[in-house]
Amino acid sequence: MALSEFTAANIHLDADKQEEASKKSTVDITKLKADIAVQLDVGKQGKVHEALEALLNLEKMSRLAEDITATRLSCTAVLELCFEAKQWKLLEEQILVLVKRRSQLKQAIQALVRQAMGYLDQAPDKDTKVSLIKTLQAVTEGKIYVEIERARLTRRLAIMKEAEGNVAEAADILQEVPVETFGAMAKTEKIAYILEQVRLCLDKQDFVRAQILSRKISPRAFVEKKGEAKGEIGIEGTAIEAPEEELKQICWFVVLSPAFSTEQGSSSDHTTLLTTTFQDKKLSDLPTYKALLNTFINKEIIRWPQFQQQFNSKRLADLQLRVVEHNVMVIAKYYTRITTARLSQLLDLSAAEAERHLSELVVSKAVSAKIDRPAGLVRFGARQAPEDQLNAWANNIGKLLGLVEKSCQQISKECMIYKVQLSSS
């Protein structure tokens, strides 16, 4: 699909971007994230309702300020608190509360609906999953900006009913969604959805309804055109069909490959592949893999014990090696000197193992460091040659003098404008 084409999906997406760009952030996002993190920690201590009340207050403040980013963060934090506490009924209640709040932003509703959909696979039982699906169906009813999410929820419910043997009920549920009227849904997604409706009607032996539904698809839609082998992309890449297995393999390939330059490839190639894969719109259907990539994009220490429980890979040794390498390069970025005891503590390794991994990275030229064993210190960074150090000092002095000269000019200008006499003192 060419970028210059005007479709309902493009217009819908452009309108959202323009609206978000027109509303500048009025809330201190850094402070908000810190407040949210504090309340999530309070919730982990068992004080769920106390933390919930504080998060709802933050949501109210962000919503009244009409700050899209802040409201979205606050809403998703409320759902995360309920999910981490494994209180599914409270999760459903808060979804209803947040959606029905006065002047709620549609971007926040869209974000919390998508986040709640990611929790479906982790529901403890079938009844909880069905209840959550019906709650999400209720809050998405009649809202065009979440029509694709509602279609996906309805299809999941129909699949569950069909698995139980209730083919007639599954067919009735799926027929409630008129996907042919959805402007934000890709053509290939509509075809897949309508074909599923036809199949269930045939299984139900409702041949008249199956014939009516089949006429919604033109035979020309099945003719593959040049440049349309993979179909169009729906709004923000949301797709009805499950993402390709190949995308999961790409994620693991990026994570398990070295982040520093080797004979097989450079560090810049790895960074480009990591960033490009993370920005893939289809990755929104794989929240676990998106979180995996985001972990390695962020320049923060990864604690291996917690990470191991979250991402249990078959190649566990390789994954741990990449985590250790990531942590060492993060430490080298923020530290110029660190004790070997503290280094081993941050890496969750013994002192000998930490030294071995650091030495291998130094040999690979991924980091520059020297180990002082008697003093128990590690110094990061290459020692500058005397001429390089002098050049750096000269450049800094030049910048300083430039700033002083510019400041004097600005002071003189202000004095001339306001006719202020500078005293000799």
Q: Where are the domains of the chain?
A: 1-120, 141-241, 245-380, 388-425
Mean pLDDT of 291-307: 88
pLDDT at 219 over 80: no
378-405, pLDDT tens digit by residue?
Answer: 999 877 778 888 888 888 898 999 999 9
CATH class of 245-380: mainly alpha
Name the one residue in this structure whose structure tokens are 């290459």: 382
Dihedral sign, CA of 305, 266, 294, 35?
positive
Q: By the 8 A CB rule, do 319 and 256 touch? A: yes
Mean pLDDT value across residues 275-301: 87
The single-letter code of the amino acid at 143 is: K
Structure tokens at 288: 């676990």
**Tokens of residue 57, six digits:** 């207050």
The SS3 of residue 171 is helix
Q: What is the pLDDT of residue 264?
A: 73
The H-or-E segment that residue 386 falls in is: helix 386-418
Q: Do residues 292 and 324 make contact, with C-beta atoms less than 8 angstroms apart?
A: no
pLDDT band at 2 (very low <50, low <70, confident <90, very high): very low
What is the average pLDDT score of the chain? 83
Query: Which pLDDT belongs to residue 384?
Result: 75
Q: Indicate if the pLDDT at residue 21 is higher than 80.
A: no
Q: Which pLDDT score is estimated for 244?
A: 59
Of the two residues 237 and 85, the one the predictor is more confident about is 85
Single out the residue of 63, 133, 69, 149 nearest to residue 99, CA to CA.
Answer: 63
pLDDT at 221 over 80: no
What is the arithmetic mean of pLDDT over 169-177?
Answer: 88
Burial profile 2-32: b = 16 or more Cβ within 10 angstroms, e = fewer: eeeeeeebbebbeebeeeeeeeeeebeeeeb
Percent of the chain's residues with pLDDT above 90: 36
pLDDT tens figures, 176-212: 888 888 877 777 788 888 888 899 989 888 888 888 8
List pLDDT tens digits, range 77-96: 999 999 999 999 999 999 99
Q: Output the CA torsion sign for 318, 320, 326, 331.
A: negative
pLDDT of 16 > 80? The answer is: no
Contact 70, 25 (CB under 8 A): yes
